Amino acid sequence: MFSFLNSFRPLDFILGLFSQDVGIDLGTANTLVSVRDRGIIINEPSWVAIRKRTREPLAVGAEAKEMVGRTPADIIAIRPLRDGVISEFEITEAMLNYFINKVHEQLLTPFPRPRVVVGIPAGVTEVEERAVRDAAIAAGAREAYLIEEPVAAAIGAGLPIMESRGSMIVDIGGGTTEVAIFSMGGVVVRRSVRVAGDEMDEDIVAYARNKYNLMIGERMAERAKIAAGSAFPLPEERTITLRGRNLINGLPQSVEISSIELREAMAPSINVIVDTVKDAIDETPPELVADLMEAGICLAGGGGKIRGLEDRIEDSVKIRVWVADDPMTCVARGAGKVLEDFDYWSRVLATDDRSRRLK
């Protein structure tokens, strides 16, 4: 009773009645914000443009990404979470601040002091965890809870993680791939690697350079990946034009590249992802493997949309693989579901066990 009184802050309680609770997918590539009863209201790249000299943030999100490659030398655009590590605490804070304020501008909430649930990569350290929580509080959150991205993704994808029968998510983002196998609300096996969509783009850049002496930018590589990339032979292979600069004579050059070549280019990162899934299954108790054979493996994240990835994984682990509905919004929708039924989820997930970690 005493501790209840201690933790009861009347002012926060009253402010809470007026502010919207906010779920945030702080992704390495994209940040999504969902608000109770309204769904996802923000979906922007996790980019911040800063003045190089002072490191003062100038623009965030879509506006910052637009500036890439078009700004004066003094302004650079960065992705503070690029590798799933919070390398730039102040910039991450500025980004969270911007998104939380934007929610309140859009919804015209009188007192922007929301309860916030933030999805973070499962591989982050405790120091990084504290950094995100502090950033959310500094950005105006009344309470900030962290949830591991694969847990939020699984909830968003509708996997029955509270049941005793096992379920499995593979969330492939820009910077990290997170694999988790659940039973009774806990993570039984988890794997996190810093190989995902960005690395595939880098693979394509390297391939074009090595094979064609063609220097292309990462955004060109990403466009090629989305338009014609694949992880398994396609029923109808495609071609796409890469535009860049010839490394020998320095002149602009375009090269037609086939989806077969792109597959070869992306193979190093795809192989790491497939091996990570395999390792996780190798570690899983046999009863749960039997459950997975029935339930299948669910893919989420932007990388889950790569053509033929289901077939590629299925072929190597012999378990059915399916892509979640709207895979890029699973984490944000999962964080939103946690807020909708906060008492339930905080009861079942709140524990010091690192595996659940809503705290």
Least separation in angstroms between CB 2 and ligand ADP: 42
Query: Binder to ligand ADP among 27, 80, 150, 334 (CB under 6 A)?
Result: 27
Question: Which one of 12-20, 44-52, 53-61, 169-177 is the stretch in contact with Mg ion (CB under 5 A)?
Answer: 169-177
Residue 9 in tokens: 């802050």
Query: Binder to ligand ADP among 150, 197, 308, 336 (CB under 6 A)?
Result: 197
Is 334 a residue that touches ligand ADP (CB under 6 A)?
Answer: no
Is 301 a residue that touches ligand ADP (CB under 6 A)?
Answer: yes
Edge-to-edge strands, sheet with 297-300: 186-193, 177-183, 167-172, 297-300, 321-323
Q: What is the DSSP letter of 324?
A: P
Question: Which one of 8-16, 125-133, 171-179, 317-325 is the stretch in contact with ligand ADP (CB under 6 A)?
Answer: 171-179
| C-alpha to C-alpha distance for 205 and 260, rounded to whole angstroms | 15
Query: Binder to Mg ion among 27, 61, 304, 327 (CB under 5 A)?
Result: 27
Which of 145, 161, 166, 156 has the alpha carbon at shortest distance from 337? 156
Is 336 a residue that touches ligand ADP (CB under 6 A)?
Answer: no
| C-alpha to C-alpha distance for 171 and 224, rounded to whole angstroms | 21
| C-alpha to C-alpha distance for 107 and 182, rounded to whole angstroms | 36
Question: Which spans in the chain are helix H?
Answer: 2-7, 10-18, 62-67, 89-107, 126-138, 149-156, 197-212, 218-228, 259-282, 286-295, 309-317, 330-340, 342-349
Stretch 292-311: interaction string toward Mg ion, x if CB under 5 A: ---------x----------
Between 131 and 288, whose beta carbon lies closer to ligand ADP? 131
Q: Tokens 């012999």 identify what position?
A: 318
Query: Binder to ligand ADP among 23, 123, 244, 302 (CB under 6 A)?
Result: 302
Query: Binder to ligand ADP among 123, 166, 175, 336 (CB under 6 A)?
Result: 175
**Positions in the binding site for ligand ADP (CB under 6 A):** 27-30, 173-175, 197-198, 222, 225-226, 301-303, 305-306, 328
Interface contacts to Mg ion, rule CB under 5 A: 27, 173, 301
